[in-house]
Amino acid sequence: MVDTNKIYDNFDETKSSSSLSSSTSTSSSSKLLSSSILSATAKQQQKSNWHYVISGFLSGCATRFICQPLDVLKIRFQLQIEPISRSSSISKYRSLTQTFSCIIKEETVFALWKGHVSAQMLSGIYGMAYFSSFEILTRLTLKWLIDHEEIISHKYVMQSQPLVHFICGSMAGFTGTLLSHPFDVIRTRMVSQSEPKTYHTTGQAFMTIAKHEGRVGLYRGFLPTLMQIMPFSGAQFATYNIFKERWQQYYHADHLAINIGYKHGHEIHIQSSFFCGALSGMVAKFLVYPLDLVKKRLQIRGFETGRGNKFGKTVHYEGFIHCITHTIQTENLAAFYKGMIPSIFKSTLSTALHFWLYESLVKKLNNSD
């Protein structure tokens, strides 16, 4: 993640080289030195940007593969109109364990990775845009604040970091969603379809939706997605950096060793990025979960026949407001938290893995140069 102190150091180096150049404007060697420093800094930043892109893509794909079954369970819960209760006789899915065993029994274990190709495309593209845009936006924003130290104090710059992380995180979420949303729609439909299948491959699903529904079909649920993902991303990055800062204050290290046995040497090492990522994912998801449910229900608009009757009722929602009001009228407010348990668990695990893998890959790429 962007280090404000490093930005200060780079800024000081650039400023000192510029002052050196201006004070000895007649010296060609000084000008050459100044330009070479600025050129080296620009090349290093460009290389770092590519490291962010590569690390974001790979960490997104790896995280998706591990967490996909939890996402399938979450989507099935979110799209079910009937109550999720062990005592309900009309519900297809009644509990976490019952749903898990039901999917495996009726559709085989591979159904837990339904829509995995589109999900991989979603996570890879989203992770690539998400982390790289956050790093670049944060660096540029903090640099702008530092450049204007005559009107903005150093203390204010340091205090404003959570706000900067929230705003830049929100914009990173917007960028990632804009690029990856069609794959989210395809993934949701492939997970929710019944037999016989309407969509057999990601490519066929993309072409079918584009042909019959147009670009609108590929971006169904885009508004509630943005309303959910922007505050979620902002909260995720802001809380992650706050937790990471507190971790460093208490432990002064990137990992914590915990003894799990009686004998010396039986230890597990908890990485700060994994632990802080888990906390930030849990907090952020809880805050915006109702919007995630609305998004999923709107994404299957126009696909009601593909779901069939196998999974219970399917309601045709006219739009964002109608989905909210109809859910309240027919199900109650608690319905907005259907599937929250697997979703919170998935968000906690996936965010922990995502941040840990991302930071580990960035470090490895930086050290390999």
For residue 320, what is the domain's CATH number?
Answer: 1.50.40.10
Check if the beta carbon of residue 272 is closer than 8 Å to that of residue 244.
yes
As a whole number of Å, the end-to-end CA separation of the chain is 18
List C-alpha distances in Å: 354 to 65, 167, 259, 360, 365: 11, 20, 26, 10, 16
Q: For residue 172, what are the domain limits?
A: 4-8+32-368
User: Considering the domain boundaries, does residue 165 fall inside one?
Assistant: yes
pLDDT at 92: 86
pTM attached to this predicted model: 0.73
pLDDT(25) > 50: no
With tokens 């819960």, the residue in question is: 77
Residue predicted with more confidence, 308 or 316: 316
Do β-strands 255-259 and 267-271 pair in parallel, antiparallel, or remain unpaired?
Answer: antiparallel
pLDDT(26) > 50: no
pLDDT at 338: 85
The burial of 19, by beta-carbon neighbours within 10 Å (0-12 exposed, 13-18 middle, 19 or more buried), is given as exposed
pLDDT at 34: 47
- 158-204 per-position pLDDT tens digit: 778 888 999 999 999 999 999 999 998 988 888 777 777 888 888 89
User: Considering the domain boundaries, does residue 15 fall inside one?
Assistant: no
Displacement of CA 364 from its chain's centroid (Å): 21
User: Considering the domain boundaries, does residue 300 fall inside one?
Assistant: yes
Mean pLDDT value across residues 334-357: 88
User: Considering the domain boundaries, does residue 118 fall inside one?
Assistant: yes
Residue predicted with more confidence, 304 or 37: 304
Check if the beta carbon of residue 234 is closer than 8 Å to that of residue 166.
yes
User: Considering the domain boundaries, does residue 18 fall inside one?
Assistant: no
User: Considering the domain boundaries, does residue 269 fall inside one?
Assistant: yes
User: Considering the domain boundaries, does residue 24 fall inside one?
Assistant: no
pLDDT(31) > 70: no
Q: pLDDT class for 142, splitting at 50, 70, 90?
A: confident
Q: How many domains does the chain have?
A: 1
> Strand, coil or helix: what is 153?
coil
User: Considering the domain boundaries, does residue 45 fall inside one?
Assistant: yes
